[in-house]
Amino acid sequence: MGARVTIVPPREAAEAPRRPAPEPPRVPWWAVVDWPLLLVILALLVQGAVAVYSTSVAFAVTRTDKPAFYFVQRHTVFVAVGLVVMLVVWRVGYEPLRRHPRWVAVLAGGVLAALLVLLVRNRLAGTTGRTLLGGSLQPAEFAKPVLITYLAVWLSTRRREMPDWRTELVYVGVITGVFALLVLLQPDLSAAATVFALGVMMLFLAGAHPKQVGFTLAVAVVVLVVGLPAMRWLYPVGVTRFRDFWIALRAPAQVEGHLREAIWAFLRGGWLGVGLGEGQSKFYYLPLPHTDSVFAVLGEEWGVLGAAVVVASFGLLLWRGLVVVQRSPDPLGRLLAGGLIFWLVGEAVLNMSGIVGLLPEAGNVMPFFSYGGSNLVATMAALGLVLSVAGAGRREAALAGGKKRAVVDLRGWNRRRRVSRAGRVATPGA
């Protein structure tokens, strides 16, 4: 017999070790910072601090019994707190708003509760105050960014559940109306009107149905027709402001009151101004020169050119905000950035236009420049969200190889290599 051959079954191939999924490339922190937007924010903070110093010292000395630098010291604390809040909100980002929409509802409920507590306190005490905690908290200032955030989250995540445009309009109208009503009952007509306008703006930014637009315009016409005559009894100060605005349009020399002093402040300042701290209108003529009338003081001390620099700064803020909206990676980011930037710039435009007589004086504060901790902290928190949206867009663009870096694709100017067409011989470097 021949040799026995033993057949050995082949060994099972060892399973190849699974390779871990490649981690997405890390983007350095400095590459996701919108540096132009951050520089504009810091520039506005510096300008506002200088304006508060110039206006509040005179106000403290001549109209209060507080030390000269009382408001300056408090504003310094507000700036520090605002920067910390902006950095925290920026670091956390806006993604948790999408994952946990109930947090936004809790935040909105907290602001509504603060407004309700303020209203009950005013009724029991027979006062008309707008602040809580000894003047340290003004709930109406937080109601504006919180409403924008709430509507941005809802419109980007929940609007598909609405059966038709009527239901959506009613929902947005009810939420906005509750905020506006509680603010109005303080009473604060200008803040209530701003809250209502913000609700309408968010609906339009989300892509309002044409019928929603028509219905909103019809409601606005009815409110104007009914509300303007009623203002004579409900809001006499508003009637005076409308009258001064109308007189200023026809004959600026005949206007009286606050608007007259604001116009005279600009006339005294001329093109270059009388110098920082040298203005006279802040001492006796202008009411609240460190809050509502701060732009008039700037016009006197910084001149028309200095006031133009302030206007240009807000223009840059609007421009960078629109760039952030365009580069936002998702609808929530677009609604947040667009709503918050339009709110901040809109407040500034209303304040500055009212001071120079281009619009009726509404009593809106001037972000960054008007003294007040609630407005400054709310402003910085809102800008923290905008910076987080900008960072998300820049991070996505970096991971995609920079395809979204250009706002406008100029094709021939972006140094791309052209693809050879059929029948065309590619040349080196083409």
| pLDDT digits 0-9 by tens, 269-316 | 999 999 988 888 888 778 888 888 899 999 999 999 999 999 999 999
How many Cα atoms are found within 13 Å in the side-chain-facing hemisphere of 204?
Answer: 14
| Confidence band, pLDDT 50/70/90 cuts, at residue 22 | low
**How far apart, in whole angstroms, are the C-alpha atoms of residue 383 and residue 341?**
8
- Residue 326 falls within a domain, yes or no? yes
The dihedral of CA 408, 410, 415, 416: what is its sign?
positive
Residue linked to tokens 């009613």: 170
- Residue 131 falls within a domain, yes or no? yes
User: Is a pLDDT exceeding 50 seen at residue 430?
Assistant: no
| Confidence band, pLDDT 50/70/90 cuts, at residue 238 | low
**Residue-level pLDDT at 233:** 62
Lowest mean pLDDT among 144-153, 213-222, 304-313, 420-429: 420-429
Q: Could you give the 3-state DSSP secondary structure of residue 132? A: strand
Residue 63, amino acid: R
CA angle 281, 285, 287 (to 5 degrees): 105
Which two tokens mark 308?
Answer: 């133009």
- Residue 53 falls within a domain, yes or no? yes
Angstrom distances, CA of residue 187 to CA of 121, 150, 293, 402: 13, 23, 20, 51
| Confidence band, pLDDT 50/70/90 cuts, at residue 424 | very low
- Residue 417 falls within a domain, yes or no? no
pLDDT tens, 33-69? 899 999 999 999 999 999 999 998 888 888 888 898 9
**How far apart, in whole angstroms, are the C-alpha atoms of residue 428 and residue 430?**
5
Q: Which residues, other chains included, contact 420 with Cβ-Cβ below 8 Å and sequence gap of 6+?
A: 426, 430
- Residue 404 falls within a domain, yes or no? no
User: Is a pLDDT exceeding 50 seen at residue 243?
Assistant: yes
Domain that holds residue 239: 32-399
Number of folded domains that form the chain: 1
H helix intervals, 69-164: 70-92, 95-99, 101-125, 139-157
**How far apart, in whole angstroms, are the C-alpha atoms of residue 223 and residue 405?**
44
- Residue 270 falls within a domain, yes or no? yes
More confident residue, 74 or 12: 74
Residue 303 near residue 319 (C-beta atoms within 8 A): no
Which two tokens mark 93?
Answer: 């980002």
| Confidence band, pLDDT 50/70/90 cuts, at residue 21 | low
| Confidence band, pLDDT 50/70/90 cuts, at residue 226 | low
